[in-house]
A and B are shown apart, each in its own frame.
Chain A
Amino acid sequence: MYARWVLTALLAWPLLAGLIVLLLPARLAKYVALAASLVEFVISVPLWWTFVPSGGMQFLVDRAWIPAWGIHFTVGVDGISLFLVLLTTFLIPLSILGSWTYITKREAGFYALLLVLTTGMIGVFVALDLFLFYVMWEVMLIPMYFIIGVWGGDNRLYAAIKFFIYTFLGSLLMLVAIIVLYLHAGRATGAYSFGYAHLLSNAKDLGPAAWWLFGAFFLAFAIKVPIFPLHTWLPDAHVEAPTAGSVILAGILLKMGTYGFLRFALPFFPAVALNQNVQLVIVVLSLIGIIYGGLVAMVQPDFKKLVAYSSVAHLGFAMLGIWALTLQSVQGALLIMINHGISTGALFFLVGMLYERRHSRLIEAYGGIARVVPLFAAILTIVSLSSIALPGTNGFVGEFLVLLGSFRTYPIATTLATSGVIIAAAYLLTALQRVIYNPLKNPENEHLTDLTPRELAVLIPLLVGILWLGIYPKPFLQRMEPAARSLIEQVRPSAASTAGQP
């Protein structure tokens, strides 16, 4: 029973709750939104147990939507999307709780948009019809655009429109590519459908068109990831967005890009994706992302911008892992996607909490605050260490697996990528030192208040995640392994036999 309604409920409930939030008095907005998002989380939790790792696509729902064109409402979850769905439902209540005092104007609108955004994000991860996927992909743009544009920082209008146009431009070409695939499959089989399985099994014999189609998908996903040099929207959007916006942007929206590569770009066009030159370009761009992102993060005076650039570096690791296409590297990439959501999400929350107290994000405005706010300092340290990928934290497991798995495919690139870990240590530890250690110079910092119980309630679940994934990632790996394996078998039949156990 649960399997039949869970995904539909996960999609419909936030939308409905968003409307309810809008209709109720504004002072109730955040309570209702928090309750609604907790309900959403509770609905999603049994996915974890009922999911059968070797079961392929499950929790399938398939309903005709626009039959004239073979458009269906088809949703399902496999080992790749399961964690992204859970990550979404996990981060949303925290984001709402984290915005409790941060958002002071037009609250109802803010929380309603967050809930609508939830529908869009989950929709992207579960859609198994390319029309539905495209609609969801675009639909989540609008709430994010408003969240940045209405509740963002001083430069919010610029950041919002840049974010919108970058993503929109990329996705529009993907739209044309989807239509071309649809017509190709339709002409080959006589059945016109946007269904994922249908298009996947008929995405052969495209000839040179495959290059264009891959390019269109690549652009859409690469902007979202973002891959260097398409990353320039990201620092603006992250810095200007309110805390919850940054958390969701980094935690979930960026994963849509890597998810798109795993779900669509690679399986649809394996020949193009594994072409020597394409591999070279993507690996080099990922490497540039890792190293350049880290180096730029190192010189940021603004803590939030530092975290933003660190995202470019982390996602570079994920891209490297995906393209290396070994079992460990793909699992590692998936883990990085989750870890980054947790660790960077936590970092954004912490920076936001600091900002709420002092209205400054500049690193130099702080220093020595460990004595004033010991709890804050302790948590910031743990989170930073997890972002650096210290063994025992979640970051380590993901990056280690990616490096281990990728070494087999790209030895030189992987060796170079290792330096990214060191760079991460350099910028985060320096920042850590300058913010919470060093002498306490600025008298304004002497009266900072330590974390409130509400803030602890936001951070503790994230800390639990950090340690759980760091110490005992097996349940995660177990659930994602069959999906990762079948992806690799699909894309590179020969690769599966050589891939060993993690």
Chain B
Amino acid sequence: MSLDPAVYGDLLLSLLPELVLTGWALVLLLFVAWRHRTARDLRIAGWLTLVALLSTAIAVWWLWWNRATLGPGLVAMVAADDFRWVADWVFLGAAALTVLISFAYLEREQLLIPEYYVLVIFATLGMMVMAAGADLMVIFLGLELMSVAVYVLAGLDRRRARSAEAALKYFLLGAFASGFLLYGIALAYGATGTTNLGLIGGQVGIMGKPSVMLLAGLALLIVGFAFKIAAVPFHMWAPDVYDGSPTPVTAFMATGVKAAAFAALFRVLNQAFAPVAAWHDILWWLAVVTMIGGNLFALGQRSLKRMLAYSSVAHAGYLLVAVTAGGAAGTSAFLVYVIAYTLMSLGAFAVLSAKGRAGESDVLIDDLAGLASQRPWLAFALAVCMLSLLGFPGTAGFIGKWYILIAATSAGQNTLAAILVLTSAVSAGYYLPVIMAMYMKPPAVEAAHRDVYLDRWGRIAVAVVVVGLLLFGVWPNRLFDLAKSAGNSVHATTATAATPP
């Protein structure tokens, strides 16, 4: 199905998922404006959110099924390709899992704020706009829409100083990063006279040797994105913000927000700056420093939540390897890894939210001692998530890492691949103690885990995660097909990539 960007109807059709989600967001806003007192209202808002996410996913599926593409003609502000659809599913899935683990959490922590769900929807919408953007301005709009919603989410628990601190920190540094990004966009515009990714790519190709202004713009763009994905040395905010935010929000930030920033980064680098060789080197170093830094910092953490925060920094490093490898293989590897990462990270945070009380930052890894004997299923789920984060065969995390390794080595980045596996080995030093505490240490007191509770929806979320991780770990064929077509879709225009196996 080819859509003509000159026809309004077609243009609207290409934005169908975003429009559906916006519509639901407005409906939900109306709903919570007059029903926002009881826990029941909160639950209804949550269910409505799930329905909204599901219907949006169906809209995405419809466009994907019909192979919707924007035909030639006017230069489009949005892209319609498989990359966007797959990324949308990741965001929607992350949001849905977040909602599932939020039900019990919000009630338990007495956060009877139904606007929470509206904000989740708006943040998801922003992510989808980011992944769709074929123009720097659209990407920026999406980024701001997402970020503003997440700033509020981070400070949702306003009675806790930590949450307020997280929100403020996130806001200040996020605004700062947005400034970088915007300035980068301005410079890129100055150098090429356009903000459209495809046109910039064309200009850069004609230019031959890139101008200083363009390079400066590129550098600022990378810095802006590096803040958002929490790459070392722009990661300073991440541990505190992840630590202070309510756990479901942290899960959402670590997965959805990160995935969206990466998706936009991919598009910008591969479509606008593909001919510029400089970013490969910059990202190479960024990836190396992030992998080493993230893993070493995580090694020193005793709090489970902080450990997961730093581990998400490390995973940003692995994803950066996929970006550095570039090409269709790198893009596909990125998507597979992001799907795996979203599942395993959300699963870990879900179990953490069941264990923690009023600020999970106080849950030490050692506090999990004996969980396996008292809550075998939860312990099993967390163990699967940890092994997957470690990249152990049989789990989706391994498949993702394997794909990144293939992308990196086929791009000639053998050193990067070796650093990736060596830092992965380091990560065993902090993922295994979690398993060790749960299975190999006796509980500190008899009833250590009596109040660990995950409601029905939380259990469904964890079950989905575990089944997904194991299924993709053993039989990833469908996932590969999807990721491969998505990877090729981004590179159909540039086609600079070496053909992957």
Contact = CB atoms under 8 A, between A and B. Distances in A.
Interface of A: 66-70, 106, 134-135, 138-139, 142, 145-146, 149-150, 156-157, 160-161, 164-165, 168-169, 172-173, 175-176, 179-180, 182-183, 186, 192, 212
A68 B480 contact: yes
B477 A138 contact: no
A68 B440 contact: no
Given A149-B436, A149-B440, A168-B425, 8 more contacts: A69-B406, A70-B501, A134-B393, A150-B439, A156-B440, A160-B440, A176-B417, A180-B409
A192 B429 CA distance: 34
A267 B441 CA distance: 44
Interface in B338-378: 373
B393 A139 contact: yes
Contact of A168 (B394, B428, B481): B428
B432 A161 contact: yes
Q: What 8 A-B pairs come out closest when comparing CB atoms?
A: A172-B421, A192-B501, A135-B393, A169-B425, A149-B440, A138-B393, A68-B480, A176-B417
Contacts of B373: 106
B203 interface: no
Contacts of A186: 501
B249 to A, nearest CB: 32
B151 to A, nearest CB: 38
Contacts of A68: 477, 480-481, 484
B392 A138 contact: yes
B2 interface: no
A173 B480 contact: no
A63 B421 CA distance: 29
Interface string B472-487: 0001110011001000
Contacts of B161: none
Contact of B480 (A66, A139, A212): A66
Contacts of B429: 161, 165
Given A66-B477, A68-B477, A165-B429, A176 B393 contact: no
A67 B477 contact: yes
A180 B414 contact: yes
B501 A183 contact: yes
A264 B484 CA distance: 31
Given A135-B393, A139-B393, A183-B406, A160 B436 contact: yes
A172 B424 contact: yes
B500 to A, nearest CB: 9
Contacts of A142: 387, 392
Contact of B418 (A160, A176, A183): A176
Contacts of B424: 172
Contacts of B418: 173, 176
Interface of B: 373, 387, 392-394, 402, 405-406, 409-410, 414, 417-418, 421-422, 424-425, 428-429, 432-433, 436, 439-441, 475-477, 480-481, 484, 501
A130 to B, nearest CB: 12
A186 B440 CA distance: 44
Nearest to B412: A183
B413 to A, nearest CB: 11
Contacts of B410: 183
Contacts of B428: 161, 164-165, 168
Contact of A179 (B392, B394, B406, B422): B406
Contacts of A161: 428-429, 432-433, 436
A270 B475 CA distance: 35
Contact of B439 (A138, A146, A172): A146
Given A138-B393, A176-B417, A180-B414, A66 B476 contact: yes
Contacts of B406: 69, 179, 182-183
Nearest to A156: B440
Tell which of B393, B402, B433, B476 has the most Cβ of chain A within 10 Å.
B393
Contacts of B402: 175, 179
Contacts of B392: 138, 142
A139 B425 contact: no
Nearest to B387: A142
7 contacts: A138-B392, A138-B393, A142-B387, A142-B392, A146-B440, A172-B421, A186-B501
Contacts of B436: 149, 157, 160-161
A188 to B, nearest CB: 13
B325 to A, nearest CB: 12
Contacts of B409: 176, 179-180, 183
Contacts of B501: 69-70, 182-183, 186, 192
A184 B432 CA distance: 34
A186 B480 CA distance: 19
A169 B439 CA distance: 23
Contacts of B417: 176, 179
A156 B441 CA distance: 10
B425 A165 contact: yes
B439 A149 contact: yes
Contacts of B393: 134-135, 138-139
Contacts of A149: 436, 439-440
B477 A175 contact: no
A134 to B, nearest CB: 7
A175 B414 CA distance: 12
A145 B435 CA distance: 10
Nearest to B405: A179
Given A135-B393, A164-B432, A186-B501, A172 B422 contact: yes
A132 B405 CA distance: 17
Contacts of A70: 501
B439 A139 contact: no
B275 to A, nearest CB: 25
A469 B402 CA distance: 43
A445 B94 CA distance: 64
A182 to B, nearest CB: 8
Nearest to B439: A150
B425 A172 contact: yes
B331 to A, nearest CB: 15
B351 to A, nearest CB: 19
Nearest to A148: B440
Tell which of B394, B410, B433, B484 has the most Cβ of chain A within 10 Å.
B410
Contacts of A164: 428, 432
Contacts of B439: 146, 149-150
A156 B428 CA distance: 17
A179 B406 CA distance: 6
Contacts of B432: 145, 161, 164-165
A157 B440 contact: yes
B440 A150 contact: yes
Nearest to B399: A66
Nearest to A146: B439
Contact of A175 (B387, B405, B475): B405
B427 to A, nearest CB: 10
Contacts of A106: 373
A173 B428 CA distance: 15
Contacts of B484: 68
B487 to A, nearest CB: 12
A87 to B, nearest CB: 24
Nearest to A150: B440
A170 to B, nearest CB: 9
Contact of B421 (A69, A157, A176): A176
A323 B422 CA distance: 28
Contacts of A169: 422, 425
B84 to A, nearest CB: 22
A179 B500 CA distance: 13
Tell which of A66, A173, A179 has the most Cβ of chain B within 10 Å.
A179
A284 B21 CA distance: 69
A160 B433 CA distance: 11
Tell which of A142, A169, A172, A180 has the most Cβ of chain B within 10 Å.
A172
A169 B409 CA distance: 19
A334 B305 CA distance: 49
Contacts of A139: 393-394
Contacts of B425: 165, 168-169, 172
